[in-house]
């Protein structure tokens, strides 16, 4: 340990750039493993905010440690790294497990003595934040069930109908009875449509027959198998009937899109410019969530196909 702190050797890839003193910050107790600072990559350019401002906002910690050079001779590689990061609004990134340590170039009174402040953030958070800031977009996170859509399987229809019948049997208020009766009829009608679809691959609505149309689902990665789903769309009612696993009829689902969804989707992509970066967070199973989002955003205007696996997040209850 030097008089300033722990002396660390700095590498970018396999190239040794020189030595810096890692000066501990009170109550942090942070130290680079083996006193080696191995830079994994250089961050993207921040167009709108200095990296220091971004990291002070998104990091759960204050400065983890400070890096300074006490070497009297010139360390040209470190000086060049410092100048590049400082003037181009970039950071040098060290990856430690699922964390990124960002080395932020700070002004130095002595030009030949580079100085960095170190901030830790979860993997990918800094780049995501930069993308939103650079694009001047905000992030918007959608839930699916009971928010953008109402979806039911045969089992959930039966459960809802049974529950409503129980409430009706105990209700005495005529207004509430009327409302519940109307809801019960809607559930029964929708259940009848889903039953026809699950058994016959067609439905009859208002005397008109609608047969399934086979829709190919875009492959989200090379590891995903090609999927073709039998779909029925009742546009006037805002209903789509799909099958999560095309081979298993019991996975048939009737989906009602919220009436205002098309207006909201149009607003989010108005004039061909994305106003928001869209994410989905749901407790639903992944295959179900991906299919429901495909129905909501069939042309992938809100979330591109290459981003979908990262942008649709399925969480467990209580997480």
Question: In 3D, which of 37, 45, 33 has the Cα closest to residue 12?
Answer: 37
Half-sphere exposure of residue 31, counting CA atoms within 13 Å on the CB side?
A: 9
Q: pTM for the full model?
A: 0.64
- Are residues 149 and 125 both part of a single domain? no
Judge if 124 and 152 occupy the same domain.
no
- CATH at 40: 2.40.290
- Which of the residue ranges 42-46, 49-53, 60-64, 211-215 would you say has the lowest mean pLDDT? 60-64
Query: Could you tell me whether strands 99-106 and 227-234 are parallel, antiparallel, or unpaired per DSSP bridges?
Result: unpaired
Residues 150 and 94 in one domain: no
Q: Which helix (H) or strand (E) holds 162?
A: helix 154-170
Task: Give the pLDDT band (50/70/90) at residue 116.
Answer: very high
Question: Are 249 and 193 part of one and the same domain?
Answer: yes
Task: With beta carbons less than 8 A apart as the criterion, state whether 75 and 67 touch.
Answer: no
Output the pLDDT for position 73: 61
Mean pLDDT of 247-275: 87
Output the DSSP codes for 52-91: HHHHHHH-SSS--EEEE---SS--HHHHHHHHHHHHHT-E
Q: What is the pLDDT of residue 48?
A: 82
Residue 297 backbone phi and psi in degrees, to 5: -130, 65
Q: Are residues 32 and 51 in the same domain?
A: yes
Q: How confident is the model at residue 234 (pLDDT cuts 50, 70, 90)?
A: very high
Q: Identify the band that residue 204 occupies on the pLDDT scale cut at 50, 70 and 90.
A: very high
Higher pLDDT, 135 or 297: 297
Question: Which residues contact residue 134 at a Cβ distance below 8 angstroms, ignoring those fewer than 6 apart?
Answer: 44, 46, 47, 48
Residue 319 lies in a domain: no
7 strand-pairing partners: 21
- Looking at the chain, the whole-number percentage of residues with pLDDT higher than 90 is 64
The verdict on 191 and 274 lying in the same domain is: yes
Mean pLDDT of 47-57: 91
Burial of 44 (0-12, 13-18, 19+ CB in 10 A): middle
279 and 156, same structural domain?
yes
Model confidence pLDDT, tens digit, residues 142-174: 999 889 999 999 999 999 999 999 999 999 999
CA gap 216, 229 in Å, rounded: 6
More confident residue, 22 or 224: 22
70 lies in a domain?
Answer: yes
Mean pLDDT of 284-294: 94
Segment 21-44 mean pLDDT: 87
pLDDT of residue 133: 85
pLDDT for 113 equals 75
Residue after which a domain boundary falls, among 129, 160, 186: 129
- Statement to judge: residues 300 and 262 lie in one domain: yes
Q: Taking 70 as the threshold, does the pLDDT of residue 230 lie above it?
A: yes
User: Has residue 248 been placed in a domain?
Assistant: yes
- The pLDDT score that the predictor gives to residue 223 is 78
Residues of the domain holding 78 = 6-129
Please give the torsion angle defined by the CA atoms of residues 221, 224, 230 and 231, in that order, rounded to the nearest 10 degrees. Answer: -30
Q: Are residues 145 and 103 in the same domain?
A: no
Domain identity same for 125 and 229: no
Report pLDDT for 215.
94
CA-wise closest residue to 150 among 230, 261, 227, 250: 261
Domain count within the chain: 2
pLDDT at position 275, please? 73
Q: In 3D, which of 205, 314, 313, 198 has the Cα closest to residue 253?
A: 198
C-alpha–C-alpha distance, residues 164 and 145, integer Å: 19
- Please report the DSSP string for 170-228 in residue order: H---HHHHHHHHHHHHHHHHHHHHHHHHHHHSEEEETTEEEE-EEEEEPPSSTTSPPEE
Q: What is the pLDDT of residue 110?
A: 63
The pLDDT assigned to 156 comes to 96
In this prediction, residue 120 has a pLDDT band, given cuts at 50, 70 and 90, of very high
For the residues 191-216, what does the mean pLDDT come to? 95
What is the percentage of the chain residues whose pLDDT exceeds 70?
93
Q: Give the pLDDT confidence score for residue 72 in this predicted structure.
A: 54
244 located within any domain: yes
169 shares a domain with 98: no
Q: How confident is the model at residue 1 (pLDDT cuts 50, 70, 90)?
A: very low
Is residue 24 one of the residues assigned to a domain? Answer: yes
Q: Are residues 94 and 115 in the same domain?
A: yes
């Amino acid at each position: 340990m030097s008089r300033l702190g722990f002396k660390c050797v700095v590498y970018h890839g396999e190239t040794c750039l020189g030595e810096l003193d890692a000066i501990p910050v009170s109550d942090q107790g942070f130290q680079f493993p083996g006193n080696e600072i191995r830079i994994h990559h250089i961050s993207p350019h921040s167009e709108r905010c200095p990296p220091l401002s971004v990291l002070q906002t998104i990091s759960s910690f204050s400065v983890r440690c400070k890096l300074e050079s006490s070497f009297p001779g010139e360390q040209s590689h470190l000086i060049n790294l410092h100048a590049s990061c400082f003037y181009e609004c970039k950071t040098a990134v060290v990856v430690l497990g699922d964390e990124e340590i960002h080395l932020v170039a700070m002004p130095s009174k002595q030009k030949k003595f580079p100085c960095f402040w170190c901030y830790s953030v979860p993997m990918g958070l800094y780049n995501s934040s930069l993308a939103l800031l650079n694009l001047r977009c905000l992030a918007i996170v959608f839930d699916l069930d009971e928010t953008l859509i109402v979806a039911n399987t045969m089992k959930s229809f039966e459960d809802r109908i049974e529950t409503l019948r129980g409430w009706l049997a105990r209700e005495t208020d005529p207004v509430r009875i009327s409302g519940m009766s109307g809801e019960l009829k809607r559930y029964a009608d929708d259940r009848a449509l889903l039953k026809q679809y699950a058994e016959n691959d067609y439905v009859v609505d208002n005397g008109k027959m609608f047969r399934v149309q086979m829709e190919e689902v875009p492959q989200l990665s090379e590891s995903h198998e090609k999927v073709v789903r039998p779909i029925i769309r009742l546009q006037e009612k805002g209903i789509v009937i799909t099958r999560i696993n095309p081979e298993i009829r019991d996975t048939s689902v009737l989906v009602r899109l919220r009436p205002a969804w098309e207006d909201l989707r149009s607003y989010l992509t108005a004039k061909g410019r994305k106003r928001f970066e869209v994410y989905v967070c749901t407790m639903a199973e992944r295959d179900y969530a991906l299919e429901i989002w495909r129905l909501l955003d069939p042309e992938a205007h809100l979330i591109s196909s290459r981003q979908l696996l990262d942008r649709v997040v399925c969480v467990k209850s209580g997480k």
